[in-house]
A and B are shown apart, each in its own frame.
Chain A
Amino acid sequence: MTDYLLRVEDVYKKFGSKDILKGASLNMSKGETKVIIGPSGAGKSTLLRCINLLVKPDSGRIFLGDEEITGKHVNLSHIRSEIGFVFQHFNLFMHLSALENVRLGLVKVKKMRNEEAESKATRALRDVGIQDELFGHYPAQLSGGQQQRVAIARATAMEPKIILLDEPTSALDPELIGEVLRVMEQLAQSRTTMLAVTHEIGFAKNVADEIIFMDNGAVLETGPPTQLLSNPKEERTRRFLGKITELYGVSRTEK
């Protein structure tokens, strides 16, 4: 089973007396895009945060390639540098320009020389459609959509094995969501391994190889988008999708 890039096995996590994850498991192969959906409180974000070890699971095992990253004596920083993370609220470094945001990790973690880091950061920013004249802008001078694209460039520039995205468009004004989704689509097309928590059902439908429905701290159901969205096996999934459709409307292809 070592051909999986990421294996999450039976992860449990408690905060205080509250069980957040109760045996969550999933697998990802190289180049796949998967989308996690599910009600708030299902443990979606916590699961992502467990995978890049921002949260330490209480039990269960997580493998990146052949390496158990939940094992003892792991090099936390090294593992995190191989797992990109895109946050709901962007979390850009406010005192650094767009270019410096992307360059910091290359210099401090990858130990690149300045010129090398600069040209790599430049390419990463261009790839997410940030124009050169914005490179010197600071996060507070950028729109939410631009900030999130810089944040994606910050993650991709590190050349991680997988990128985790935690509701990357939820904090954005509606008219800015599209530009971020387009960048995510490009990433998927270039076979970047991506695991995204998002309720952009259109994105899930067009781009994801598989949708994972989480409820109550565990994975309840998985399936290819067409099957899971139109014909879910579980009643709970069906009810959730009904609510989502009520909120976001039915996409044109479904009508």
Chain B
Amino acid sequence: MNLSLESYLPYLLMGFYRTVLLTAGGLALGFVIGASLAFAEIYLPRPANNVATAIEQILRGIPLIVIFFLIYFGLPYAGIILSPGMAAALGLGLRSGGYQSQIFRGSLESIGVGQVEAALSIGMNKSSAYREVLLPQAIRLSIPAWSNEFTVVLKDTSMAYAIGVAELLKQAANIVSLTLQPLEIYLVVAAIYFVATLVVSRTMNVAYERWKIPGLGGGAS
């Protein structure tokens, strides 16, 4: 059976929609986890900061697909049952959290204590110093690396295939099993990932240029 592009593309796009949802969920969860871990590593006293470092290293040290299997196949034995989509979003979020914590930690540390001290010295309180001085810079400095993490999460949603999420790759595989047109269909899938990744990095680059601190640093990748 030979299917035309018009007839299978809607199914691929439906899969891509789930890919987008997984990417958004994974990045958002990863942002919360990553920001928390970064703050804990920098600002919490021992041993809390060491715990945060250990968590971050564990999250970055396990293959994503193993995290998926642990959550989707393993957790039910501990009484926690998640849908494939939820399990995938959680797994992506945990792994991305480990990497995002590295990004934020690097940015926060590169700003240094001097500017916060200067803010305190003119009578700003700590929270206002962080809000007005530290965070606006940390966010801007994080954009290039975060843009890369965005594309990594986007592409790695394809591993959710393994636990049965009907994202882009899974949809494609289903169609291939019917039509036996692997070259054509996987090329279309590759093109969709590629274009999506390109749009993300271009958009993030525009954001970087728009908000970069004049006189500092080079361009985003």
Residues of A within 8 A of B (CB): 52, 54, 76-78, 80-85, 87, 89, 91-95, 104-105, 108-109, 137-141, 151, 154-155, 158
For the residues of A in contact with B, the DSSP-based class is mixed
Q: Is the interface of B mostly helix, strand, loop or mixed?
A: helix
B213 and A54 contacting across the interface, CB-CB below 8 Å:
no
Tell me, yes or no, whether B218 is within 8 Å of chain A by CB.
no
Given A87-B117, A93-B118: A81 and B213 interface contact (C-beta under 8 Å): no
The residue that B123 contacts in the complex, of A89, A109, A140, with Cβ under 8 A, is A109
A93-B114 in contact given A77-B124, A108-B132, A138-B215 (Cβ < 8 Å):
no
Extra contacts besides A91-B117, A109-B124 (20): CB < 8 Å: A76-B125, A77-B124, A80-B123, A81-B122, A85-B121, A93-B115, A93-B133, A94-B111, A95-B133, A95-B140, A95-B213, A104-B124, A105-B122, A105-B123, A109-B122, A137-B214, A137-B215, A154-B122, A155-B121, A158-B122
Chain B residues close to A by CB (< 8 Å): 111, 114-115, 117-125, 128, 132-133, 136-137, 140, 213-216
- How long is the Cα–Cα vector from A108 to B132 in the complex, in angstroms? 9
A-B contact pairs, 21 of them (CB 8 A): A54-B117, A84-B122, A85-B118, A87-B114, A87-B117, A87-B121, A89-B114, A91-B115, A92-B118, A93-B132, A95-B133, A95-B140, A108-B124, A109-B122, A137-B214, A137-B215, A138-B213, A139-B215, A140-B214, A151-B118, A154-B118
Q: Is the CB of B120 within 8 A of A54?
A: yes
Known contacts A89-B114, A94-B137, A104-B132, A80 near B213 by CB under 8 Å: no
